[in-house]
Structure 1
């Protein structure tokens, strides 16, 4: 293997984004995945960039999400130039729909917050929503229109990140499992994999739900647990909606070719990826209530994915407090697609010893949930 500067563990959208941004700066990286790149949660995601629709209060996540969302237009162009892959960026806005009086109250509170934060959002009456989206149910109470929230095709985004990284010099090794970290004299020196030892001065753990064993070896308690989400898609000759529709019971994300993605269920602490009739049934009921004409669409398929959640809903982003050069970027839950470019940029900054003073990462500390307990002796070297 050619000499490398950094090992990235995990080939989902976060790991692939990190590989792209580091490679773009001339950093020699190898991206490792125990399966195929982008085959897990990133492949199951609907691709919403719902920075304002899903994050409804001020805080570090809101700031990070907005910063990341702004990167997508240029990113879309750059990735297509490097790889020929169109990530499917659609900037047609998002409607967060109210189906009840409680929803109206919640959305109005969110709307007030958005305006105070200086972000664009407006309330639309039922009539205004149906003028924009004629197929929406007449039973809705109204909706918040967020013009800046958009969407991409998640599998294409992950593929584009990985292929662009490879074009820029990254090595990508699939079906390569990282067995343990190499730690000595206060720093990481590489990894031991199913295919052999790889030496590097920096290691980034970005393997989502499967990050636990390596984090434990490094003496970190970073609770990351899986949340299964089930989705389905339908086909129609003409698009059923133009905007992304977000409601309490489900979301509807229109894709190219008359495809509509409907998601997603939430089952915590489950590695069982079976698609259940109960889960899909609940989504069918919610989607029919929101978009009655969906009953006439052609069934395409159903699937599930495991989203990596943390105790406080914030990802772990940062360097290990003892083992220098060992970084964590994991636990992005349902915002992995949205946060991928900013996460990649932040990690690339770390590799170069830079700090973005406009983004505070204190709330994302890797040791925030429990004191770090590590052994300085007796570790692989």
Structure 2
């Protein structure tokens, strides 16, 4: 029998690695199992936006969670740099949510009135928007400036969390597939993998869009589905925008080295990662409508990722009601990078038998 662990985590994306890191900081002996490499799927494809206000507002049950998670990033970036020497490219560059019509402008102004004062959110009229970001299309009616939002390199974040965990005593097994759970009565006591069994006091499934197929082995249904998102990146000699630009259907994220990351399409209920010409054309049109000078940029590459979405729209974070020793952390959809730090903390609290006040029943599927 393989040596027992305190916790075995299935899935080497940003959520699994964040949980492993938080557990390792608390002295727990953890094992993370990934069927490919760390950050090989959605966490590699993500734009890395830390946008509390891209989809959420004060009325969303995720709002406080997202806010708290984003605010953890400055300290987390420093911790990971000290432990691993890796730079996750954290930037608090702010975000502008563009309004293209008067109706959109009214909606954003209304949303801004409900945000916390300490977020420093400011409505930018069209002339002021041009002062902030002079290369943006003059067709925009205005924009909501959110100074505290930012972005990171999603892949570098995921790998840094994994490497830091190993430094703290965790084990990671890449290119290892979990075939099934080891069940004793009503308790999950381990996993059966392509290289043998591993036992632990607790098993956490954090396999993103692939969590559903694994949990079905023991008759559990998550009510989740995959959503493909296509993105592309370009390079430009000038810094066309300082801040992340967000509209419905398109975002432009400035990265280090003169790169701009543009995303993302949405194709639900598919694991097919093929990149479509129609998807790229649609994104290019939207991006150049927002930032016309992008038409002169140098093409870099295109890719896609499969994101996990639940029917209820909220992530599943907590213990299984069907089996002891089994917990689930998935369904973060487009907010996986944003919610990774707080998800790691909440799951570590759960493993220690602590009731995290942020872990409420509304977090279920």
TM bucket normalised to smaller: over 0.9
Mean Cα deviation higher: 95-104 or 209-218? 209-218
Q: Does 1:269 align with 2:278?
A: no
> Partners in 2 of 1:120 and 1:221 — Cα distance?
41
Mean Cα deviation higher: 104-113 or 9-18? 104-113
Q: Which residue of 1 aligns with 2:98?
A: 97
Q: Which residue of 2 aligns with 1:256?
A: 256
Q: Is the 8 A contact 1:41 1:306 kept in 2?
A: yes
SS at match of 1:5: strand
SS at match of 1:22: helix
SS at match of 1:209: helix
SS at match of 1:60: coil
User: Displacement of 1:3 after TM fit?
Assistant: 3.6
> Partners in 2 of 1:199 and 1:287 — Cα distance?
49
Q: Which residue of 2 aligns with 1:221?
A: 221
User: Displacement of 1:67 after TM fit?
Assistant: 1.3
**Deviation per CA, 1:242-294, whole angstroms, max 9, x where unpaired?**
10100123100000010000000011111111111100100111011100111
Q: Which residue of 2 aligns with 1:40?
A: 41
**Deviation per CA, 1:46-65, whole angstroms, max 9, x where unpaired?**
00001123213413211211
> Partners in 2 of 1:31 and 1:132 — Cα distance?
44
> Partners in 1 of 2:307 and 2:162 — Cα distance?
20
Output aligned runs, 1:45-194, within 5 Å: 45-115=46-116, 119-194=119-194
Q: Which residue of 2 aligns with 1:24?
A: 25
SS at match of 2:5: coil
> Partners in 2 of 1:277 and 1:58 — Cα distance?
37
Q: Is the 8 A contact 1:253 1:261 kept in 2?
A: yes
Q: Is the 8 A contact 1:225 1:268 kept in 2?
A: yes
Q: Is the 8 A contact 1:52 1:114 kept in 2?
A: no
User: Displacement of 1:118 after TM fit?
Assistant: 6.1
**Deviation per CA, 1:129-174, whole angstroms, max 9, x where unpaired?**
1111111111110000001111111111011111111111111111
Q: Which residue of 2 aligns with 1:374?
A: none
SS at match of 1:114: coil
User: Displacement of 1:308 after TM fit?
Assistant: 0.6
> Partners in 1 of 2:203 and 2:186 — Cα distance?
14
Q: Is the 8 A contact 1:189 1:202 kept in 2?
A: yes
> Partners in 1 of 2:219 and 2:60 — Cα distance?
28
Unaligned runs of 5+ in 2: none
Q: Does 1:324 align with 2:329?
A: no
> Partners in 2 of 1:219 and 1:271 — Cα distance?
21
> Partners in 2 of 1:360 and 1:329 — Cα distance?
12
Mean Cα deviation higher: 284-293 or 120-129? 120-129
Q: Does 1:364 align with 2:343?
A: no
> Partners in 2 of 1:220 and 1:101 — Cα distance?
47
User: Displacement of 1:77 after TM fit?
Assistant: 0.3
> Partners in 2 of 1:217 and 1:295 — Cα distance?
49
User: Displacement of 1:175 after TM fit?
Assistant: 1.1
> Partners in 1 of 2:134 and 2:43 — Cα distance?
31
> Partners in 2 of 1:318 and 1:249 — Cα distance?
31
User: Displacement of 1:2 after TM fit?
Assistant: 4.5
Q: Is the 8 A contact 1:53 1:149 kept in 2?
A: no
User: Displacement of 1:113 after TM fit?
Assistant: 2.1
Q: Is the 8 A contact 1:60 1:360 kept in 2?
A: no
SS at match of 2:62: helix
**Deviation per CA, 1:160-208, whole angstroms, max 9, x where unpaired?**
1111111111111111111111121322210101110111110000001
Compute the RMSD of aligned alpha carbons.
1.3
Q: Does 1:11 align with 2:15?
A: no
Paired positions, count = 364
Q: Is the 8 A contact 1:31 1:173 kept in 2?
A: yes
SS at match of 1:7: strand
